[in-house]
Structure 1
Amino acid sequence: MSSHGPVMRMWLMGLLLIGGGALAREPQVLPDFDLERLDLNPGAAGSLLVGTGELLPAGELRLSAMGHYQHHPLVMARGNKRVAAVGHRVTTHLAAAWSPVRWLELGAQIPLVALQRGDDLRAEGIAPLAEYGIATPSLSARVSLLSQVAGMPLDVALGVGVGLPFASASLLASDGKPSYTPRVMVGRRFGWFRLALEAQGLVRPLLQTSSTAPYQQADIGNEVRFGAAVATVGRRLRWELNVRGSVPLVDQPSSVELLLGPRFLMNPSMEVFTIAGVGVGSAPGTPLFRVMVGTAFGDVTPSRLPGESSINCSPDLPHSYEECPDMDEDGDGVRNLVDQCPDVAGTLERNGCPRRDTDNDGIEDILDACITEPGEAVWKGCPMPDGDGDGVADEKDRCPEMPGLADHEGCPKRDRDEDGVEDDLDQCPVMAGPVERQGCPESDADRDGVVNRLDSCPNVAGLETNYGCPKHEMPLVILTPTKIELTSRILFEPGDSRLRRTSDAILTLLAKVLNEHPEFPLVVVGAHTDDRGNRESNLRLSQARAESVRRFLIQKGVEPERLDAKGYGQDRPIDSNATASGRENNRRVEFEIIWPE
């Protein structure tokens, strides 16, 4: 409770009447100064009264109005006699805050005195105070230095306020000249609550008083003010506890106030609040107790940090599923965070979705890649892909854009080099060769009986049974008419396109073979994945892996124009994705030789 004890020092300049001649003089008005100690936080981010270092988000506007009652904010003493110069004071505070950019908040406050009454001191030669009028309006600016929303560990801001001397006379509401309030604000959220500290200086005109007045007095001047707040966050109903105090830099008592109250979000654009507390100390403007009730409009929904639930997570407030990951909107026991059908009740094993089969193909929609077209399980519920309509699936069709024959792997029967060997059997389809050479000309650089096109060691004589390599040398790269096969796998970092070091040796040998076979006009590096994860993500990952292999081969001297990179994702499996070994087989890199038409 406020202590208005025997050492109450007042700011009454020019109090008249010493001794018995007081009644013979005309009553005089108390000298004006700003009695109000309440300083609202106009943006109210985190606290209504204490700056937390957090500003309004960019572009947001907050308007607030508050009714305020103070009991005995100004009590004077002479000996054992105490009088309430201001016993009851009712004010209205209008405040606005706006952030044009994320690091700047501008504010304005206009306090209005609606009713002010105290003891009748005319017998003491003191005229009554005005009962109502405009108090000192103020403007403020705050600049954010650090922000938790931006990933910093704290909210830190600097600010300055200016009190304008436009108040009504005889109201104890103005210092007569501008006052200035520089401040520093620091705060941090800790899960469900926030802590904040504020320090400010009050620079105001010095009002020196006389010791000969009937009532004890003190000078009015500069002060150091401080504030601390503890507030809950992340809920529609929030509480805050504020401690505010001052240390004067002139001959004046200090004071401390303790204020507690709730604030409630009515809807995303309106909140109501109330604050009440007691004062300790005899500094002018420190009431025995004060009560405040108000409302705010505009952008009043508090911001949230990454990973925090939104304050809008209430059934009657609009919100998105992403804002409230811990809620269960459809009541199926599956949280929004993992519910793939958050607006329809489902089951846990279906990730919150009900069992559905729109196309009646026996494959649930959640597993069906083509939910409106009947398909087969092997194609993930889609019809067999056959772009040219020749009955050969695109995955197995060597000529997917040209109708062909099933026994010719989807290609028409052709013999481009007219050597009597059909292209599907011709190992050299664009160069005429005898049937006994499988359509290839007699090209054997090392004269080992294995044509260069199929010779894994074209510059060293070897055995046909060893793919053209010497008996003592195990070929690690095997050539076929359409592909280059490696005897060991190319490995990448899990979920990444970076090559493992263990793959350097086999890729270096592959580059050597490509450089020894300049007759290969184009080699397509094709990368594949299994079906785990998102199809689009798998497609991007396979393309990045194909590009990594191509870059490695170029670094080893292979001409860039002879290499192309293709990522096929999960669309061309060679084994079942239902087993670990099958998925491992599907994660592969292939090298296809492309011959000109």
Structure 2
Amino acid sequence: MSGGCAWWQRMGTVAALLLAQGALAQESVPLPDFVLERLEVNPGPGPLATGGGTLLRDGELRVTLLGHYQHEPLTINDGGETIPLLRSRSTGVLAVGLGLSSRLQLDVRVPVMTQREGESLDAQGLSAPTRTGLGSPRVGARVAILRTEGDDSVDLAAEVGVGLPFGTDGALARSSDTSILARVMVGGSLGSILAPSFEIGTLLRSTATITAENLEAREIGSELRLGAGLMTTEGPLRGEVSLNAGLSFKQAQGAVELLGGARYTPREGVELFALGGLGLGSEPGIPLFRLVAGVSFSYLLGEDTRPDSDSSIVHESVPLPLPGSGRRPGEARGSQASLIPGPGETSPIANVARDRFVLEGKVYFRTASAELPAELADLDRAVEMMLTNPSVALMTVDGHTDDSRAETLNPRLGRDRAEAVWRYLVEHGVPPNKLRLRSFGPQHPAQTNSTPEGRERNRRVELLLMLPTTQEPTP
């Protein structure tokens, strides 16, 4: 009998312990809803981690896919000891930007994350964060305020981003209500190589507080945001460094994150990037270190009248033909003679080799623009020449840019200009199989880039005629 009583006493003790543990579990306080992430991915041109003041072109769609890893992005203080509440976080971001005009850009960003909790806080009655979840979507609009041209150009823009109160509870990735980030961004150029950028803004959001027994309370609320960046603009491989800081209005504490890396353009419309850096400060969202990598795709929307990929159009980048001492225009024979004017007439073409002639007349463009000018007499003359001279075997359409930051920031610009002229020629009856498209960028200036007049002459498209010849073509 006594043995049976002892058994029941032991069972009662176990049950009491289980109930006590259940009560403790029920008393655990869930983490408040707030957005821990501080990295603001730029969906437009310019630096990845700062705005830069530049906008997407009218009709340009840019899609960015990136992933980034953060180590210990959230810590709390326990009697002088720093405890990581989050050991690590990996986040994937889809960012889409669209240029509605040359002065208005819209964008949306959607994050998805997975994370690993740090030290157990069950003893303090604090629940662990959710391991995976969907972050708060963010929509924004950027407006260009000032745009200048030249080597010392300045771009000024304002942006408002709205964080929507959607996402996974307990993942530290959503707000309890709508948040607003308003920023003013300025970008410039130092010659034709470097492009600095600066921004200042305010993040407005409701206050969230992390409280638990024996732990220092952490308030997360509105902040002052500052950023500065520097990137190179020449060549397919470019460097970038950025410094972002935040100052909490609630606790008067600051935090800084430094990122640096490279961006590579393997082909027009595609960009790869990788960055890494360190965080300084204990504010929520500042990791010990961060690694970022991703890819972006750019496409110009609108009526698709660009040349397709068939054999009638060839995209290449080769040296321009050099002037030669071949046959003079007056020596042309047969059907070529219709291209060559008689005595006293003004020649619309100039001989640069035995079988190559360049039209005397070019199409010039505004800075960073591929829009055809209103006056197109040279193109009309080229159309007439191609339609009335079937002996012309081929015409190449060569797109060029100057070397200013506004031009080199868009690696597609030379091609876009050549395509604009290509469309005009085809729409006016020139057979596509007699046209060849080439894009050079700033590599072959017609004049010096050290003066505004020279840069204006370098923003051009040149037309080169290829004529049949019985002689061997010049190399």
Q: Classify 1:319/1:78 alpha carbon distance in 2 versus 1 (closer, same or farther; 3 Å).
A: same
Residue of structure 1 in register with 2:38 after alignment:
37
Matched residue type, 1:225 = R
Cα distance in structure 2, aligned partners of 1:177 and 1:127: 21
Kindly state the Cα deviation for residue 275 of structure 1 after the two structures are TM-superposed: 1.1
Matched residue type, 1:105 = Q
Cα distance in structure 2, aligned partners of 1:173 and 1:207: 13
Matched residue type, 1:85 = L
**1:150-165 equivalence runs, <5 A:** 153-165=153-165
Q: Classify 1:372/1:41 alpha carbon distance in 2 versus 1 (closer, same or farther; 3 Å).
A: same
Residue of structure 2 in register with 1:146 after alignment:
146
Cα distance in structure 1, aligned partners of 2:126 and 2:336: 97
Residue of structure 2 in register with 1:113 after alignment:
113
More helix by percentage = 2
Answer yes or no: is 1:69 the counterpart of 2:69.
yes
Kindly state the Cα deviation for residue 299 of structure 1 after the two structures are TM-superposed: 3.8
Cα distance in structure 2, aligned partners of 1:60 and 1:101: 9
Kindly state the Cα deviation for residue 219 of structure 1 after the two structures are TM-superposed: 2.1
Cα distance in structure 2, aligned partners of 1:96 and 1:203: 23
Cα distance in structure 1, aligned partners of 2:194 and 2:175: 38
Cα distance in structure 2, aligned partners of 1:535 and 1:135: 55
Residue of structure 2 in register with 1:354 after alignment:
324
Answer yes or no: is 1:262 the counterpart of 2:262.
yes
Residue of structure 2 in register with 1:26 after alignment:
27
Matched position secondary structure for 1:250:
coil
Q: Structure 1 unaligned segments of length 5 or more: list them.
A: 1-20, 301-316, 321-328, 331-341, 344-351, 358-363, 386-393, 395-532, 541-597
Cα distance in structure 1, aligned partners of 2:162 and 2:299: 25
Higher relative contact order at CA 8 Å, sep ≥6: structure 1 or structure 2?
2
Matched position secondary structure for 1:123:
helix
Matched residue type, 1:154 = V
Q: Classify 1:374/1:285 alpha carbon distance in 2 versus 1 (closer, same or farther; 3 Å).
A: closer
Residue of structure 2 in register with 1:196 after alignment:
197
The question of whether the paired residues in 2 share the 8 Å contact of 1:181 and 1:203 is answered with yes
Kindly state the Cα deviation for residue 534 of structure 1 after the two structures are TM-superposed: 6.1
Deviation digits for residues 385-431 of structure 1, max 9, x if unmatched?
8xxxxxxxx9xxxxxxxxxxxxxxxxxxxxxxxxxxxxxxxxxxxxx
Matched residue type, 1:115 = Q
Q: Classify 1:166/1:375 alpha carbon distance in 2 versus 1 (closer, same or farther; 3 Å).
A: closer
The question of whether the paired residues in 2 share the 8 Å contact of 1:22 and 1:124 is answered with no
Deviation digits for residues 229-274 of structure 1, max 9, x if unmatched?
0100021001111000011111252100110010100211211101
More strand by percentage = 2
What is the TM-score normalised by the length of structure 1?
0.49
Deviation digits for residues 162-200 of structure 1, max 9, x if unmatched?
000101001011121000011100110122010110111
Matched position secondary structure for 1:298:
strand
Matched residue type, 2:31 = L
Q: Classify 1:136/1:229 alpha carbon distance in 2 versus 1 (closer, same or farther; 3 Å).
A: same
Residue of structure 2 in register with 1:50 after alignment:
50
Cα distance in structure 2, aligned partners of 1:180 and 1:381: 66
Kindly state the Cα deviation for residue 215 of structure 1 after the two structures are TM-superposed: 0.9
The question of whether the paired residues in 2 share the 8 Å contact of 1:370 and 1:382 is answered with no
Cα distance in structure 2, aligned partners of 1:80 and 1:209: 17
The question of whether the paired residues in 1 share the 8 Å contact of 2:152 and 2:188 is answered with no
Cα distance in structure 2, aligned partners of 1:186 and 1:96: 21
Residue of structure 1 in register with 2:221 after alignment:
221
**1:378-417 equivalence runs, <5 A:** none
**1:361-510 equivalence runs, <5 A:** 364=328, 368-369=329-330, 371-372=332-333
Residue of structure 2 in register with 1:505 after alignment:
none
**Higher radius of gyration, 1 or 2:** 1
The question of whether the paired residues in 1 share the 8 Å contact of 2:199 and 2:228 is answered with yes
Residue of structure 1 in register with 2:8 after alignment:
none
Cα distance in structure 2, aligned partners of 1:86 and 1:112: 16
Matched residue type, 1:355 = S
Residue of structure 2 in register with 1:445 after alignment:
none
Answer yes or no: is 1:289 the counterpart of 2:289.
yes
**1:327-338 equivalence runs, <5 A:** 329-330=318-319
Matched residue type, 2:189 = R
Residue of structure 2 in register with 1:102 after alignment:
102
